[in-house]
């Protein structure tokens, strides 16, 4: 865990006096200029003898795949993100129970695109984007701080030739009271760390003498809300952890710990019906209690369903899908259905020159006639790869500078081909659904299957 504390920490108290010097971050770099002597600095527009600059907002699947494929002989790359690593989200659930360590699912940005660490005009900034000025080709940013006992946020701006918005999405709460205060999401490494910490803490607390049976059962009740792939995979990992580890290491409380999965409709709704039935059977066999219901309110030690049922919990994990972030909603761009940034067939934002959007934060405009693609890693990865190739083509054809790519032939539009879906369900078993894919598996007579991972 100390690895990730060091990985994401912006500064320590020892570095505070150094950063109080307002010129520390920028005066040693020739690319930076300061507008005022004390508070505002930034990367100025590129000069003719410099490479064009691509600014990437975000370090998820889409942004990192783009940075990996971008030709750094043509462009300087600047990444702005509140985390300096990419998270391999399909394996995140496994880190919560110790099947994998946290460092196994994170890859530093500097290893994905080495130019960010080495090239003189490429940088990574641990910051959030706070505003865009598409007329001036400028991004406004503010540094990420680690709690109260650190430096004040530092504001700066970056001029771009090409801007790629890959800010992803955030977990949806549907406006239900208490979710953000009491539930834990499962989207980042620090979420998995918090789940593991709380799970182990509750296991140890439940063994304290004098604890009532009711309180012991509450502490060891793990509730997962949301029956999509993330919720099902985490429930499967948790049931394996209970069956194989808790029964040996925490024998005194092994009969109290249990898992409940709450879903409003069918679990794994995007999968084939036969696979959903198998998943239901397998999870029930592993000890997961499946409840169909809608959460109305979340309190510190219990949640309440719309039918009035009260469900006490010691650990609450919320996994009910994703939606646009407040920043994406605030952008004055045309939006696709669902509130994402509207894009055309070449992943451009039509109302803003030199601006592209990829990943979960973007969706095709209705005028394109294309459906909004699902918020999946394979969609984001494919868009990042396509846009890297497109920008490389634009750069080679002399359109890398701002406002200079209008006459460049773009080639074919982005086309998404679904490669299938997969979800683990515990006990070394996984579901594979290839109904929308042209991929074939020799041992399968149909395009759905249960795979034994042993």
Q: What is the pLDDT of residues 233-287, one digit of tens each?
A: 999 999 999 999 998 888 888 899 999 999 999 999 999 999 999 999 999 999 9
Q: What is the pLDDT of residues 176-220, one digit of tens each?
A: 999 999 999 999 999 999 999 999 999 999 989 999 999 999 999
pLDDT higher than threshold 80 for residue 20: no
Give dist(CA 440, CA 383) in Å, integer: 23
Give dist(CA 427, CA 285) in Å, integer: 10
Strands, sheet with 355-357, edge to edge from the N-terminal-most edge strand: 32-34, 40-43, 155-159, 138-143, 123-133, 76-81, 53-57, 162-165, 355-357
User: Which tokens is 58 given?
Assistant: 């975000």
CA-to-CA dists, residue 263 to 58, 219, 324, angstroms: 30, 21, 22
User: Which tokens is 328 given?
Assistant: 């994406």
Q: What is the pLDDT of residues 425-438, one digit of tens each?
A: 999 999 999 986 64
Mean pLDDT in residue range 433-452: 60
Cβ-based burial of 233 (10 A; exposed 0-12, middle 13-18, buried ≥19): buried
pLDDT higher than threshold 80 for residue 149: no
Judge whether 59 and 83 are in contact, CB under 8 Å: yes
Residue 24 pLDDT grade (very low, low, confident, very high; cuts 50, 70, 90)? very low
Long-range contacts of 366-372 (CB under 8 A, 24+ apart): 366/336, 366/337, 368/344, 370/345, 372/336, 372/337, 372/338, 372/340
Using DSSP's 3-state secondary structure scheme, residue 102 falls into helix
The full DSSP string for 213-254 is HHHHHHHTEEEEE--SHHHHHHHHHHHHHIIIIIHHH-GGGT
Mean pLDDT in residue range 31-53: 71
Judge whether 86 and 61 are in contact, CB under 8 Å: yes
Q: What is the pLDDT of residues 304-339, one digit of tens each?
A: 999 999 999 999 999 999 999 999 999 999 999 999
CA-to-CA dists, residue 106 to 4, 9, 97, 167, angstroms: 9, 15, 16, 17
Q: What is the pLDDT of residues 352-397, one digit of tens each?
A: 999 999 999 999 999 999 999 999 999 999 999 999 999 999 999 9
Q: If we measure between CA atoms, which residue out of 168, 296, 317 comes closest to residue 234? A: 317
CA 66 to mean position of chain CA atoms: 16
CA 227 to mean position of chain CA atoms: 18
What's the chain's average pLDDT?
88
pLDDT higher than threshold 50 for residue 17: no
Per-residue pLDDT at 258:
95
Using DSSP's 3-state secondary structure scheme, residue 335 falls into strand
Eight-class DSSP state of 176: -
pLDDT higher than threshold 90 for residue 137: yes
User: Which tokens is 180 given?
Assistant: 């953000």
Residue 10 pLDDT grade (very low, low, confident, very high; cuts 50, 70, 90)? very low
Using DSSP's 3-state secondary structure scheme, residue 328 falls into helix
Residue 37 pLDDT grade (very low, low, confident, very high; cuts 50, 70, 90)? very low
User: Angle at which helices 229-241 and 273-285 pack, to 10 degrees?
Assistant: 30
- Pick the range with the lowest mean pLDDT from 34-38, 226-230, 311-315: 34-38
Residue 5 pLDDT grade (very low, low, confident, very high; cuts 50, 70, 90)? very low
Judge whether 421 and 270 are in contact, CB under 8 Å: yes
CA-to-CA dists, residue 443 to 74, 425, 448, angstroms: 46, 21, 11
Give dist(CA 75, CA 439) in Å, integer: 35
pLDDT higher than threshold 80 for residue 439: no
Q: What is the pLDDT of residues 230-247, one digit of tens each?
A: 999 999 999 999 999 998
């Amino acid at each position: 865990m100390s690895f990730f504390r060091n990985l994401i920490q912006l500064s320590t108290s020892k570095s505070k006096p150094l950063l109080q010097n307002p010129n520390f971050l920028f005066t040693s770099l020739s690319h930076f200029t300061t507008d005022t002597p004390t508070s505002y600095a930034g990367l100025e527009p590129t000069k003719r003898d410099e490479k064009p600059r691509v600014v990437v907002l975000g370090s998820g699947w889409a942004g990192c795949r783009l940075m990996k494929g971008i030709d750094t002989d043509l462009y300087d790359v600047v990444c702005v993100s509140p985390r300096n690593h990419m998270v391999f989200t399909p394996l995140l659930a496994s880190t919560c129970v110790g099947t994998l360590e946290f460092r196994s699912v994170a890859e530093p940005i500097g290893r994905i695109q080495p130019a960010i660490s080495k090239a003189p005009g490429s940088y990574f900034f641990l910051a959030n984007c706070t505003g865009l000025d598409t007329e001036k080709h400028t991004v406004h940013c503010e540094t990420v701080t680690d709690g109260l006992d650190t430096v004040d946020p530092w504001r700066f701006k970056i001029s771009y030739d090409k801007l790629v918005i890959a800010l992803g999405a955030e977990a949806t709460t549907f406006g239900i009271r208490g979710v953000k205060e009491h539930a834990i999401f499962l989207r980042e490494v620090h979420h998995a760390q918090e789940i593991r910490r709380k799970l182990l803490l509750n296991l140890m607390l439940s063994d304290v003498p004098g604890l009532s049976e009711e309180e012991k059962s509450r502490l060891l009740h793990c509730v997962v809300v949301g029956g999509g792939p993330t919720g099902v995979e985490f429930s499967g990992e948790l049931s394996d952890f209970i069956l194989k580890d808790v029964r040996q290491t925490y024998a005194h409380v092994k009969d109290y710990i249990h898992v409940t999965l709450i879903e409003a409709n069918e679990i794994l709704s995007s999968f084939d019906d036969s696979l959903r039935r198998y998943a239901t059977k397998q999870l029930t066999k592993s000890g997961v209690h499946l409840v169909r219901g809608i959460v109305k309110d979340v309190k510190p030690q219990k949640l309440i369903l719309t039918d009035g049922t009260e469900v006490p919990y010691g650990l609450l994990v919320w996994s009910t899908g994703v939606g646009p972030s407040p920043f994406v909603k605030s952008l004055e761009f045309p939006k696709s259905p669902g509130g994402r940034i509207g894009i055309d067939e070449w992943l451009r934002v039509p109302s803003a020159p030199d601006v592209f959007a990829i990943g979960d934060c973007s969706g095709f405009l209705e005028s394109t006639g294309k459906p909004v693609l699902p918020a999946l890693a394979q969609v984001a990865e494919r868009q990042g790869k396509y846009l890297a190739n497109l920008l490389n083509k634009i750069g080679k054809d002399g359109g890398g500078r701002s406002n200079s790519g209008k006459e460049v032939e773009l080639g074919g539009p982005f086309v998404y081909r679904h490669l299938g879906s997969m979800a683990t369900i515990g006990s070394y078993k996984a579901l594979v659904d290839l109904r929308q894919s042209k991929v074939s598996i020799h041992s399968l007579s149909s395009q759905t299957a249960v795979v034994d991972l042993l």
